[in-house]
Amino acid sequence: MIVNVAFAIIKIIAGVFGNAYALIADGIESSLDVAGSIVIWGGLRFAARPPDATHPYGHGKAEPLAAIFVALGVLAAAVLLAVQSTRTIFLPHRAPAPFTLAVLLTVVAVKETLFRYVVRFGRSIESIAVEADAWRHRADVLTSLAAFIGISIALIGGEKWRSADNWAAIFVCLIIATIGVRLLGPALHDILDTAPRGEIIDLVRKAAASVPRVIEIDKCLVRKMGLNFYVDLHVKVDGSISVREGHHIAHQVKTAVQQTDPRIADVLVHIEPARPAR
């Protein structure tokens, strides 16, 4: 957030004094990044709240909701910036100042470093909200590169190419819109309880099958709720054992599954009788 605040101020001031429309557009996008980071931070804090009487499965859905809000904000910003850049594309232009190129190169270096760090962290905890924040850093890298190219063409090409700055700003908006669509997909998947990616389902199955006296795993359903996972298992055991023994096996299965990953908040085990061998 601190980096985004600093870059938003620097870009807008440099764009105004350096006559660079693309840099101003880039600066406005960075200021929206600040708002997005605040939303994601708030969403993660709310999602981390423990279950209560009205939310027995926790507050995890706040995380994808925060990501959806950020994605829609990114798309809205792309549309507004594109409209503004198009309106001024055929108006007289002053040449952009060369120092704006140095500002953009600094942004690219810092933002690419931030992207790599944040996206690694987001993937390690499987948080789509954190990954959304990371991809906004990558969007900043791409938009800054586009602005750099547009301003360079305007400087090298002379008066006939002054509008290259505006064209670069429009291209920046297309990139921002693409990032918005990319962020929206995973968040909608989480809201719709799409099966989680990765190997967690295989790990759950193997852990349950390793419990003594478990004959077969019939069903294994895993859903993601914020940063946690909830598991529903149908486990087949010998049909002649007592209810007490079946209950004991179910507890063993639950313990074994939860030990595979600390993010598994709860496991519901349904015991079924296995068909006798013929």
* Domains, in order of start, for the chain: 2-191 (1.20.1510.10), 200-274 (3.30.70.1350)
The tokens of 210 are what?
A: 């390793």
Q: How far is CA 221 from CA 26, 98, 201, 216, in A?
A: 44, 58, 8, 15
Please tell me the predicted confidence (pLDDT) of residue 129.
77
Cβ distance 233 to 217 under 8 Å? Answer: yes
What distance in Å separates the CA atoms of residue 201 and residue 217, rounded to the nearest whole number?
12
pLDDT tens string 235-278: 999 988 999 999 999 999 999 999 998 888 899 999 999 876 55
Nearest alpha carbon to residue 224 among 184, 176, 190, 273: 190
Helix (H, G, I), strand (E, B) or coil at 238: strand
User: Would you give the distance in Å from CA 8 to the centre of its chain?
Assistant: 21
Give whole-number Cα distances, 1 to 34, 207, 269, in Å.
Answer: 5, 41, 43
What pTM was estimated for this model as a whole? 0.65
User: Quick check: 25 and 150 in contact, CB under 8 A?
Assistant: no
Tell me which residue has tokens 């690419």: 112
pLDDT at 95: 67
Q: What is the rounded CA–CA span in Å between residue 222 and residue 207?
A: 14
Q: Give the residue among 166, 119, 96, 140 at the shortest CA–CA distance from 8.
A: 140
Q: Using one digit for the tens of pLDDT, what is the confidence trace for 93-128? A: 666 778 888 888 888 898 899 899 988 988 887 777
CA–CA dist 161, 151 (Å, integer)? 10
Q: Are 250 and 269 in contact (CB under 8 A)?
A: yes
CB distance 261 to 125 below 8 Å:
no
pLDDT tens-digit readout, 163-215 = 776 777 787 788 778 878 887 888 888 888 777 876 888 899 999 999 999 99
Burial of 241 (0-12, 13-18, 19+ CB in 10 A): middle
